[in-house]
Amino acid sequence: MSRIVLLNAIKNKIKTSKTGSIFVAADFTDISDRVKVGVCLNRLDEEGIIKRILRGVYYKPEFNSFLGEYVAPNPDDVAKALARNYGWTVAPCGDTALNMLGLSTQVPTVWSYVSDGPYKEYAYDKTSIKFKHTTNKEISKLSYKTALIIQALKTLGKENIDNAVLKKLAESLSENEKQTILMEAKTATSWIYEYIKLICRS
């Protein structure tokens, strides 16, 4: 595949993606190898089609006509893109997990994730993303939503979970998600799984 054909193939894939999407080289390995893809992404950044956020991480700009400015990339999407690029399994933890599930209105100053990869921290603009290594039991082979629920319950702690929290979490899940979580979370700490059963059976 010539460089021009490769560039156009990547450009077309980006153009058909929704605005605000985050891209890494791993997203285009069905087209070519990472090195060639990386060169093309850099070229598209120079052309203004995408914007570089971090090394190897790019953003399809989303313009808000009401505000008259570009919308900042979603930190959770950036974290997921980094995970895709390096083959990590990740899930929000701490205040990040609580915020994403509507259990806290406080926007995290640092977006924190547990990961089966190494400890890493990334910063861009005024945003920080931190990955903390955890045991495979807490994250591997779990769907994103299951790991998210487990981390939120763990953050709150056994003594701080009441009926209002359980109701809020139950309402955030579809019936299919409840069934999946009920199956996947069996290896979680016993008290966490007891709460998950209450959430998924309500």
Task: Say yes or no to pLDDT of 83 above 90.
Answer: yes
Q: What is the pLDDT of residue 141?
A: 83
- Per residue, the 3-state secondary structure of 76-87, as one string, reads HHHHHHHHHHHC
- Per residue, the 3-state secondary structure of 95-146, as one string, reads HHHHHHCCCCCCCCCEEEEEECCCCEEEEECCEEEEEEECCHHHCCCCCHHH
Task: Using the structure block, give the residue that is written with the tokens 């890493």.
Answer: 120
Q: What is the pLDDT of residue 15?
A: 93
Q: What is the pLDDT of residue 64?
A: 82
Q: Does 3-70 carry CATH code 1.10.10.10?
A: yes
Query: How many CB atoms are closer than 10 A to CB 55?
Result: 8
Q: What is the pLDDT of residue 167?
A: 95
Q: What is the pLDDT of residue 91?
A: 95
Q: At what angle do helices 163-171 and 144-156 cross, to 10 degrees?
A: 170
Give dist(CA 146, CA 45) in Å, integer: 35
Please choose, from the candidates 59, 44, 48, 53, the residue with its C-alpha nearest in 3D space to the C-alpha of residue 7.
44
Q: What is the pLDDT of residue 139?
A: 85
Mean pLDDT value of segment 93-97? 96
pLDDT tens digit sequence for 143-198 = 999 999 999 999 999 999 999 999 999 999 999 999 999 999 998 899 999 999 99
Radius of gyration of the chain (CA): 19
Q: What is the pLDDT of residue 157?
A: 95
Q: What is the pLDDT of residue 68?
A: 80
Domain boundaries, the chain: 3-70, 75-200
pLDDT tens digit sequence for 104-156 = 988 888 999 999 999 999 999 889 999 999 877 778 889 999 999 999 999 99
Task: Say yes or no to pLDDT of 1 above 80.
Answer: no
Task: Say yes or no to pLDDT of 67 above 90.
Answer: no
Q: What is the pLDDT of residue 107?
A: 86
**Amino acid letter, residue 63:** F
